[in-house]
Amino acid sequence: MNSGRPETMENLPALYTIFQGEVAMVTDYGAFIKIPGCRKQGLVHRTHMSSCRVDKPSEIVDVGDKVWVKLIGREMKNDRIKVSLSMKVVNQGTGKDLDPNNVIIERRRKRNIEIGSHLTLTAQTLRVIQARGQGTHQKTARQQRRRKRRRSTRRSTRSESIKSVGGG
């Protein structure tokens, strides 16, 4: 669809703007919405369609439906603009902003910690991994100390029993 012109973010709506768009395509992972006033489409990921869990986006929207969305992210990646939209922070009946201070969106963005270029972990997952790693390390060290103590007490009791048997 690129007509040789490089894509720019100038004709996109501003970040956190609410607008009504038309569903252009529905996939297993979300729906692409036509952005009015430009030729670009944005993705509403299934996690941003509703505050409830969405397994099949096709159960929520159909091609041609008009939906209220909020532009929650835009980034240049490989000379392409990726536009992220959310339906769950906008009342679908009135178009009213349900997250006017962008608390839900910012909280989610701050939780994501990027590690390397291919792996993204949430802070909660990272804390769990760190806690498990520390717990395992502490447990292993504790177990090693206990084994040493057991071995030393076994050796001392063996040597005492050998002395008493051999010396008697």
Helix residue ranges, H only, the chain:
103-111, 123-167
Q: Are 67 and 20 in contact (CB under 8 A)?
A: yes
Question: Count of CB atoms within 10 A of residue 43's CB?
Answer: 18
Give me the percent of the chain exceeding a pLDDT of 90.
43
pLDDT, tens digit, 9 for 90 and up, residues 127-161: 555 555 554 455 577 777 777 787 777 666 666 66
Q: How far apart are CA 50 and CA 10, in angstroms?
A: 29
Q: Across all residues in the chain, what is the average pLDDT? A: 79
Q: How far is CA 130 from the centre of its chain?
A: 17
How buried is 30 (Cβ within 10 angstroms: 0-12 exposed, 13-18 middle, 19+ buried)?
buried
